[in-house]
């Protein structure tokens, strides 16, 4: 197969930052995706509809072609979120859910949830108004092994949330383990999951081959090969519960290459190409459209896109870096050759 034509996909989990950094990355995503759910973990976090609308306007202003890309806004759930804010979010077409970060789980999660029981009244209102909950599913108890944090969250927290709020739509974001894939398959219909390209392509060896590789460091962290294969099986299965969420997370080079590296992989420069590489590795390119273009909008109750995009089988070298404010942004697979090429990319290479 030398060419693939797909219904234009959407990204259901994306980090865009703000200010100059936003302007340097947003058009990568806009070139490939029609819509994207934008994560709210800025500093300060986006916790209100008013803040989300201001952020939406900032994103639109940064776009080269604003009419071609629609940011779908998420709000940062905190223990002090007001009940009326959930009602306002439910009524506004620009807002598509709340993001739950366990406090301390990942980048800019300090304002996250310390006690799940404290937000049960808020989850009840979300359930009543059919506002989706997007979850960074990791336990943060320091005694839990970092490679077991996802499983611990599922067993100790997610089961209870689903039992207490059976009508709440939930997306378990960027799943990383066989356990999570099996859980999603067995869960009720309103429970789904996003999967990143980097968790489909790499196992935890990528962090250490030839020395410590900070640009492969993300949270949740890469897992064993058995888990990568289970995720790939889930993504390429055609099952409606799994869909594309890049979790593309840009950080300046100095923030990644230091004694305390930031967590996050930047993949927006080649998002569809990386997913195509993963699906091609198991001869399932025929399932890519279902995963990338259909399952997400179906879950969120939105129309599928009418536009199409094309991938060509051709080799190209990923640039060594991109402009990122006053710094450099190192993309995943920098300097390496990919074998699939999207037919449009932003002109932002150094």
Active site residues: 247
130 is in an annotated binding site: no
Q: Is 232 one of the annotated binding-site residues? A: no
Q: Which residue(s) pair with 313 in the sheet?
A: 340
The phi, psi pair for 280, rounded to 5°, reads: -65, -30
| Burial grade of 243 (CB within 10 A; 0-12, 13-18, 19 or more) | buried
Query: Does 99 belong to an annotated binding site?
Result: yes
The Cα 234–Cα 182 span in angstroms is: 9
Residue 93 CA, distance from chain mean position:
21
Give yes or no for a contact between 231 and 200, defined as CB atoms under 8 angstroms apart.
Answer: yes
Q: Using the 8-state DSSP alphabet, how is residue 102 labeled?
A: B
Identify which of 256, 257, 278, 275 has the alpha carbon closest to the alpha carbon of residue 265. 256
Determine whether the annotation assigns residue 254 to a binding site: no
H or E segment and range at residue 255? helix 253-256
**Residue 247 annotated as part of some ligand binding site:** yes
CA gap 160, 153 in Å, rounded: 10
Strand partners for 172: 135, 193
Phi and psi, residue 70, nearest 5°? -120, 115
16 labelled binding-site residue: yes
Residue 219 among known ligand-binding residues: yes
Rounded to a whole number of angstroms, the distance between the first and last alpha carbons of the chain is 32
Q: Is 224 flagged in the annotation as binding?
A: no
Radius of gyration of the chain (CA): 19
Which burial class, exposed, middle or buried, applies to 272 when counting CB atoms under 10 A from its CB (0-12, 13-18, 19+)? buried
Cite the annotated binding site by residue number.
Answer: 13, 15-17, 41, 99, 136, 174, 219, 247, 251, 263
Cite the annotated binding site for Zn(2+) by residue number.
Answer: 13, 15, 99, 136, 174, 247
Cite the annotated binding site for substrate by residue number.
Answer: 15-17, 41, 136, 219, 251, 263
């Amino acid at each position: 197969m030398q060419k693939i034509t797909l219904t234009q996909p959407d990204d259901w989990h994306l980090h865009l930052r703000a200010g100059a950094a936003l302007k340097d990355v947003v058009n990568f995503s806009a070139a490939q995706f029609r819509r994207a759910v934008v994560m709210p973990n800025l500093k300060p976090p986006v916790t209100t509809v008013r803040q989300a609308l201001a952020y939406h306007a900032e994103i639109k202003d940064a776009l080269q072609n604003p009419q071609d890309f629609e940011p779908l806004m998420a709000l940062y759930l905190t223990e002090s979120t007001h009940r009326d804010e959930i009602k306002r979010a439910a009524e506004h077409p620009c807002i598509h859910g709340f993001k739950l970060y366990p406090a301390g789980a990942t980048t800019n999660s300090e304002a996250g949830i310390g006690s799940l029981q404290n937000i049960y009244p808020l989850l009840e209102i979300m359930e009543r108004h059919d506002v989706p909950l997007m979850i960074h599913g990791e336990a943060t108890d320091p005694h839990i092994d970092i490679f077991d944090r996802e499983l611990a969250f599922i067993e100790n927290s997610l089961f209870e949330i689903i039992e207490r709020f059976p009508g709440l739509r939930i997306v378990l974001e960027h799943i990383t383990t066989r356990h999570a894939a099996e859980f999603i398959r067995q869960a009720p219909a309103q429970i789904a999951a996003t999967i990143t390209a980097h968790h489909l392509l790499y196992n935890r060896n990528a962090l250490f081959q030839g020395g410590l590789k900070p640009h492969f460091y993300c949270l949740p962290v890469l897992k064993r090969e058995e888990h990568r294969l289970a995720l790939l099986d889930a993504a390429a299965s055609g099952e409606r519960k799994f869909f594309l969420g890049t979790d593309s997370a840009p950080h300046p080079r100095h923030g990644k290459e230091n004694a305390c590296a930031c967590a996050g992989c930047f993949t927006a420069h080649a998002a569809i190409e990386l997913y195509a590489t993963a699906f091609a590795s198991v001869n399932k390119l025929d399932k890519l459209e279902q995963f990338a273009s259909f399952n997400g909008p179906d879950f969120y109750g939105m129309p599928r896109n009418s536009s199409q995009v094309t991938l060509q089988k051709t080799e190209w070298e990923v640039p060594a870096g991109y402009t990122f404010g006053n710094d450099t942004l190192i993309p995943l697979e920098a300097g390496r050759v990919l074998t699939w090429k999207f037919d449009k990319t932003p002109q932002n290479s150094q």
